[in-house]
């Protein structure tokens, strides 16, 4: 749901429900199960009209829009999670005070996404999707905790920005960073993602992937040309990946940022799976290739191997 272009100056409003969750940045806001339903905001913010029977309440609090239906869904999940036994529809309705039809609709949507499961008796318990999410969160938290000291050590040695990243939905996801003290520095915002084909992090995160898997990812994500040095053909990228696997680390030679240079190494777990990667990024004019190869690579690999050993990697 994208609220980026919306400016709301009043405390409470009502929006129509729409499957794709889209909202317009203009004065007509679409948010309806019926594609023709809409809500018009006139000059007077309190003057609005509706054309639908399905309405969601949306609150504007502390500069953020909060959709009430999400809070209701979270309340139901927390209620089920806090119960030792599966919970019936009536128990959830009684505990939340919500209409039975509302609870049933929310449960049906949660069940469709595997966040809850309904047993043969019509009672509900948490679904495996929540377990998967908790495992992802635990993995990232564990890696962040273990990697923090190595990140700071590498930052202190190189005086350049050090990133920790994982592979998320075929993209590089930045989960931690220690910034360079230099006024001019390369920094990726935490929680943002980047392409795999033009980043050193992306290359090492794909080290254990087969060529077929890599080609599938490249086809899905594309190979956007970020600079004149970006690899933009699958053949060139596979050739680069063979070199990365052979040497055990990856380089980004001005492939993502025109004046950027980066080196990255993988983090393995006990199953020999690449579960994360650490990179060091700096301006190409300052972070020379000679310095990287002669001074940085050894320290980078030593630190990522240390993290891997703590995670159970023994090879």
* In the predicted structure, residue 247 carries a pLDDT above the cut 60: yes
What local confidence, expressed as pLDDT, does residue 18 receive?
41
Q: Domains along the chain?
A: 12-61 (no CATH), 69-126 (1.10.10.10), 135-310 (3.30.450.40)
The helix (H) or strand (E) run that includes residue 221 is helix 211-221
* In the predicted structure, residue 92 carries a pLDDT above the cut 80: yes
Least-confidence region, from 30-34, 62-66, 100-104, 210-214? 30-34
- pLDDT, mean of residues 246-252: 98
Q: Are 12 and 68 in contact (CB under 8 A)?
A: no
| Alpha carbon distance 70, 27 (integer Å) | 24
Segment 149-201, tens digit of pLDDT: 999 999 999 999 999 999 999 999 999 999 999 999 999 998 899 999 999 99
What is the value of pTM for the model shown?
Answer: 0.61
Task: Note the maximum CA span of the chain.
Answer: 69
Residue 154 phi/psi, 5-degree rounding, is -70, -35
* In the predicted structure, residue 241 carries a pLDDT above the cut 90: yes
Closest by CA to 226, choosing from 181, 186, 272, 259, is 259
DSSP 12: E
Segment 36-79, tens digit of pLDDT: 333 333 333 333 333 333 333 443 343 444 578 899 999 999 99
Q: Are 252 and 265 in contact (CB under 8 A)?
A: no
What local confidence, expressed as pLDDT, does residue 66 receive?
52
- pLDDT, mean of residues 236-249: 98
């Amino acid at each position: 749901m994208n609220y980026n272009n919306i400016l709301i100056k009043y405390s409470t409003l009502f929006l129509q429900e729409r499957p794709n969750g889209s909202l317009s940045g203009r004065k007509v806001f679409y948010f309806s199960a019926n594609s023709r339903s809409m809500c018009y905001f006139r000059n007077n913010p309190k003057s609005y009209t509706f054309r639908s029977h399905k309405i969601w309440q949306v609150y504007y609090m502390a500069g953020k829009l909060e959709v009430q239906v999400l809070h209701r869904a979270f309340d139901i999940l927390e209620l089920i999670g806090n119960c030792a036994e599966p919970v019936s529809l009536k128990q959830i309705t009684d505990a939340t005070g919500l209409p039975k039809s509302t609870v049933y609709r929310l449960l049906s949507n949660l069940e469709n996404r595997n966040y809850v499961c309904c047993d043969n008796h019509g009672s509900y318990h948490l679904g495996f999707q929540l377990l998967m999410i908790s495992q992802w969160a635990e993995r990232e938290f564990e890696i962040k905790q273990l990697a923090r000291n190595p990140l700071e050590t590498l930052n202190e040695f190189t005086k350049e920005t050090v990133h920790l990243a994982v592979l998320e939905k075929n993209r590089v996801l930045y989960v931690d960073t220690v910034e360079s003290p230099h006024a001019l520095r390369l920094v990726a915002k935490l929680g943002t993602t980047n392409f795999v084909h033009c980043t050193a992090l992306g290359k090492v995160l794909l080290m254990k992937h087969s060529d077929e898997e890599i080609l599938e990812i490249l086809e899905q994500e594309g190979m956007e040309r970020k600079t004149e040095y970006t690899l933009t053909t699958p053949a060139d990228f596979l050739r680069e990946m063979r070199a990365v696997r052979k040497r055990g680390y990856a380089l980004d030679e001005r492939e993502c940022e025109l004046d950027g240079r980066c080196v990255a190494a993988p983090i393995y777990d006990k199953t020999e799976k690449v579960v994360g990667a650490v990179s060091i990024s700096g301006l190409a004019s300052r972070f020379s290739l000679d310095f990287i190869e002669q001074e940085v690579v050894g320290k980078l690999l030593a630190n990522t191997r240390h993290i891997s050993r703590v995670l159970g990697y023994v090879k």
